[in-house]
Amino acid sequence: MPTAPPLPPLAGLTIVELGHSVAAPYAGLILADLGARVIKVENPDKGDHARGWGPPHWNGTAATFHCYNRGKEGIAIDLGDADEAAQLRRLIIDEADAVIQNLRAGVLSRYGLDGASLRAEKPGLIWCDIGAFGEGGPLAAKPGYDPLMQASTGIMSITGEHGRPPVRVGVSLVDMGAGMWTVIGLLSALIARAGSGQGAHVQTSLYETGLAWMTAHLAGFAASGEVRRPYGSGVQEVVPYQAFETRQGWLMIAAGNDGLFRKLMAALGLADLGSDARFATNSARIQNREAILSLIAEAVRTWPFGELQAALDAAGVPNAPIQTVDQVARHAQTEALGMLQQSAAGELALAGIALSIDGVRPRAKGSAPALGEHNETVLGHSAKVKTSTKSKTSAKAKPR
């Protein structure tokens, strides 16, 4: 007889997400894909800020909102309405294993929905706070967004090119990282709760996440006192480890050790440089960075892109083309891994989480919820949405 497919690892858990924008919603997305029931709570007036982060839109809602909120149930709650706030409190006490939230500091306390109050009533609850600059310190009360954190934690100071205007990393690295730290803390608390029966207060912040991404650069400063500068596509610690321009485009070359450097030099027709004392070791190459990079760049410029890539592949030198978003979306490797999937026919193809379990990539069913879509099923009453929202059957905006 055929066996039923195994349950996803977090099946049976209920998570309430009091979140907006990216950090908390991304944590909720990961948990939903791992099998948890995630109930997203939004303000009934406009909902999550990310609903308006477009164009492009899909079914009247920004594509960004869809990618962070698929697979969740959605309810609209007016915290200023005592009855609705009480309903939310009862939902958390009766059903939630954990709450994740990234609202402004003090907002939930105003309505008696803070973690301390709810955990006093339900000791097994796991409460996850995602703050801006963290609890305590001179910046604790300041609001925070991903680019502010890339700036204030030093990420922007080591991104881009020396002497050029500051550049942020082109993805919400800090927001999404904070969401991942939240999931790590929540899962750790779940394991501990299995033995003790007690929940936990899990805390992270965007600022702490940015500092964590800066681990190697902070260690370098502690060791040398050196304030590092940006190296474009390169890095401080390894040379050559950056993009070079061929006759038809840019190729990222990562000769991450001395053996790979010698192979690279041989492939480029510069074998003698592989044993040159100025360049034979990585430490020597760092000391003579500009000289060796100039010689490599001059050689690479003479090569057709495809021929150089084939030569480096044959030599065993790691390399990769600089691909655009459309090239990545259509690449055979992306397709082979099944990273982009539709929740249903005609829906957006959205990226999944970057892990598989027993060969299967966990994936929650369902699209991102319309504002207040599940009020009736979750709370037992019709949605009280104060502004009109487009249903999932409304005309689709053309994808771009």
Written as one letter, the residue type at 87 is: Q
Distance of alpha carbon 323 from alpha carbon 314, whole angstroms: 21
β-strand pairing of 98-101 with 73-76: unpaired
Which one from 175, 258, 272, 276 is the annotated catalytic residue?
175
Cα–Cα distance for residue pair 300/171, rounded to 1 Å: 29
Do residues 178 and 204 touch, judged by C-beta distance below 8 A?
Answer: yes
Contact (CB, 8 A) for 193 and 200: yes
- Kindly report the length of the chain: 400
CB 303 within 8 A of CB 253: no
Distances (CA, A) of 370 to 193, 257, 316: 33, 51, 50
The count of other CB atoms within 10 Å of the CB of residue 81 is 14
Whether residue 158 contacts residue 228, with contact meaning beta carbons closer than 8 Å, is answered with yes
Strand, helix or coil for residue 61 = strand
Amino acid letter, residue 326: D
Annotation marks residue 81 as catalytic: no
Tokens representing 115 are 């973690």
- Cβ contact 364:17 at 8 Å: no
Return the structure tokens found at 74.
């959605």
Q: At 68, phi and psi to the nearest 5?
A: -95, -5
- Spell out the residues 6+ positions from residue 82 whose beta carbon is closer than 8 angstroms to its own: none
- Cβ atoms within 10 A of the Cβ of 294, count? 10
Enzyme catalytic residues: 175
